Structure 1
C-alpha cells in the first residue's frame, strides 16, 4: 500500500475550515505538525484557546479530510494551544496586517451591504424579520452577519439557536455561527436572563466593540437588529455606520404605523437612506381562504407614503407578511422559517425580500478600481 505524503496530507488539511473564522486551518497557522508512520497519520493542531468549544468539530473534519488521502489507514489529532505570540500574529493576520481594531465596514474597500432593521415600537416582529431575512440570505449562498444591537431586548441568539459562546483571540472576538449566519449579541455575555442596565455611552461602546473587535471576515450583508424608537443606539449606528440603509418594520395598526414613521423620518437628520417598509402581521388567512385583518389595514402603505413625502424619494412597501403560527414556532425553536423548506406564504414573502435586498447594487464610493491613466 502507498504511504501518504506530507504534501498530500497538508493539501487535504487546506480544505478544513475553522468553524468560527471560516478560513482554512492551514491559512491560520493552526497546523503545528504532520507525522506519518506507514499509513498512520498524526496531525498536530494548535487551538486558539484550551477550552475551544468546537474542538470536536475540528477533529472530525480533519479525520474526514485526511482519511480520504490515498494510503491513509488511521488519523489522529494531537491538540495543543497557541502561544501568546501565535495568537497576536493570528489577530494581526485576521485584521489584514493591521494590529489595531477598525470598523471594517467603513473602510474604502468594503462592499458589504449594511441594513439597519428598525421599528417605531416593540412587538411588531422586528427581530423575527431580521433573523428570517438573515437565514434566507445565507441559504442562498451569501456570507451574512447579524449584530443584535437591541441591547435591552436582545433575542437574536435564541431565534437563531445559538448554543456556544464567542471565542476570544487576544482582544478579538470570534462570533458564533448559527444557521450559516455569524452573530454577536450582548446576550452572549450575560448570565441567564440578567437585565442589562446601561446608560447611552455604554451602549455606544458596546456597539463599537461589536463592529470593530469582532472578526466578521468578508461579509456580503450585515444586518443590525436595532431597538425600537429613535434613541441612543439608532444615533450610534448612524455615526459608526453612515453607509447603513434602513428597513422599517410596522404592522397594519395605525398606532404602530404612526410611531414607525418617526423611526424612518430620523433618516432625514442622520443622512441615511430608507429603502423600504415591511408590514408584518398583515392578515390571518383562514381555512376557507378568506382573510381576517386582526390589526387593521394600510399601516405599511401609510408609513411608506408618509416617508416618501418627508424624505423626498420613493420608498416602497417591500412585503406584507401574513400571520402564521409556524413562523412563531420556528423562531421559538431557533430555526427561522425562511431557512427551512417551508413554502408557506410568509416564508415565500420573506425570501423574496431577502433576494431583493441581496441583489441591490452596492456602492463603489472609495473603492479602488485598479485603473491607471494612459499617457
Structure 2
C-alpha cells in the first residue's frame, strides 16, 4: 500500500479554496492540524462562521478532493473548526460586518418581513453572527415576529440592540408605540437609517440582514450611499400581478448598484396539515421563471403554511424551524444564499491589502 506523505496532503489541499477569501487554505494558514499515519489522514480545517451554514458540505468537498488525489486505500477524515478572522469596518459609517444583505419586495403583503426574519434566524442557527435591522420604518414587523417589545438602552452613547433568538435586532418598532404612525419625509428616513447603522452597538457581525420597506422608495438609495451592500434578495409570491412589482424591485436595486443575489418565492403552495396534499393557491414556479428571465439566481420556494403563520402571529417565528414542512424550505433558502456568496468570493478573491510606504 502506498502511503501518502504530509506534503502530498498539503499539495492536495492547496486546491481547496477558503469560501471567505477565495484563497487556498494552505496559503492562508487555515490547515489547523494534519495527522498522517498508517494510511489514515486526519485534517482539521479552520473556516470562519460567515459560511457556517455550509460547513457540512464543505467538509464533504474537502474529503472528496483528498480522496481523489491521494492513494485509493487512504482513509480520509476532515473536521471543521471555527477560525476567527476579524470583520473590517464598512465605509464611513463604521459598521463592522462581513456581509450586508437587503431583503426587499416590489409590494407589501408578500411576506417580506417574515422571510427576512427567518433568513436571519436560519443563519444564526447555523452558527453565524447575525444582526437584523428593521428598516421598514412605516410598518415595523420584526419585533412582533420575534415576540419582543423591549426598549433599547444607551451605553456610552451607543444604542444597544435587542437580543432575540440569537440575533441582535434594531427596529423603529422598539421606539414608537404600536398605535402610533410614523409620518416622515425622505430626509428623516435617511437620518433614521443612518442612526440605526452608525449609532447602534452591533458589535462584530458576519451578516447584517436589512428588512427593507416594500416598494421602490428612499431607503434603498440611502442604504447604498451609507455603506457597501453585499447584495439584495427580492421576495415575491408566484402570481403575475405580484411579479410585475418584483421586476421593479430588481430594477431599483440594480439602479442603485446593489447586486441582486436572488429571488425567493413565498406562499408558493399550500400544504394541507391533515392529508399532506398540495394546492397552488397563488400558482407556483412564477418567481423562478421570472428570475431566469432577469438573470437572477433563484433561492427557493417557501410554502404557504399554517404553522408559519401561527408562529409569526404569536411572536415565535424561530419555532418554524421545528416544522417539518417549513424548516427544509427555509434552510434551503439560507444555504442557497450562502452558496452564491461563496461561489462569488471563490471566483473573485479580494485583492490583498497593501501598505503604502512613504
Scaled to the shorter chain, the TM-score interval is: 0.5 to 0.7
**1:155 matched residue in structure 2:** 141
Instruction: Name the CA shift for 1:343/1:202 in 2 (closer, same or farther; >3 Å).
Output: same
Q: Secondary structure at the match of 1:173?
A: strand
- Tell me the equivalent position of 1:279: 265
TM-score after normalising by structure 1: 0.65
- How far off is 1:372 after superposition? 11
Question: CA 1:304 to 1:127, structure 2 compared with 1: closer, same or farther past 3 Å?
Answer: same
Q: Does 1:207 align with 2:216?
A: no
**Alignment map for 1:105-116 (pairs within 5 Å):** 105=95, 112-116=98-102
Q: Is the 8 A contact 1:282 1:322 kept in 2?
A: yes
Pair 138,207 (structure 1): closer, same or farther in 2 beyond 3 Å:
same
Which shifted more, 239-248 or 282-291?
Answer: 282-291
Q: 1:167: how far off?
A: 1.1
Work out which of the residue numbers 222, 242, 250 in structure 2 matches 1:264: 250
- For structure 1, which runs of at least 5 residues remain unmatched after alignment? 1-95, 309-314
With over 3 angstroms needed to count, the CA separation of the structure-2 counterparts of 1:192 and 1:367, relative to structure 1, is farther
Aligned to 2:310: 329
Q: Which residue of 2 aligns with 1:117?
A: 103
Structure label with greater radius of gyration: 1
- In the alignment, the residues of structure 2 paired with residue 251 and residue 303 of structure 1 have an alpha-carbon distance, to the nearest angstrom, of 11
Ranges of 4+ aligned residues in structure 1 off by more than 6 Å: none
Q: Compute the displacement of 1:291 (Å).
A: 1.9
Deviations 1:200-232 (A, max 9, x none): 100000000000000111101110000111111
Which residue does 1:46 correspond to in 2? none
The residue matched to 1:112 in structure 2 has which SS?
strand
Q: Name the counterpart of 2:151.
A: 165
Matched, 1:347 2:327: yes
Give the drift of 1:325.
Answer: 0.5
Question: Is the contact between residue 146 and residue 181 of structure 1 (CA under 8 Å) also seen in structure 2?
Answer: yes
Query: Displacement, 1:336?
Result: 1.2
TM-score by length of 2: 0.68
Deviation at 1:157, TM superposition (A): 0.8
Q: 1:220 to 1:262 in 2, by over 3 A?
A: same
Matched residue of 2:136: which SS? coil
Q: Which residue is equivalent to 2:219?
A: 233
Give the equivalent residue in structure 2 for 1:103. 93
1:250 alignment counterpart: 236
Alpha carbons 1:284, 1:323 under 8 Å: kept: yes
Distance 1:239 1:372 in 2: 27
**5+ unaligned residues in a row in structure 2: which ranges?**
1-86
Structure 2 Cα separation of the partners of residues 114 and 364 of structure 1: 18
State how far apart, in whole Å, the 2-side matches of 1:136 and 1:162 are.
18
Change (3 A) 1:367 1:326: farther
Asked if structure 2 preserves the Cα contact closer than 8 Å seen for 1:261 and 1:306, the reply is no
- Contact 1:258–1:303, Cα closer than 8 Å, also in 2: no
The one of 296, 305, 308 equivalent to 2:283 is 296
| Further displaced range: 256-265 or 278-287 | 278-287
1:131 to 117, 127, 149: 117
- Partners in 1 of 2:149 and 2:285 — Cα distance? 39
RMSD: 2.6
Deviation readout 1:67-87 (Å, 9 max, x if unpaired): xxxxxxxxxxxxxxxxxxxxx
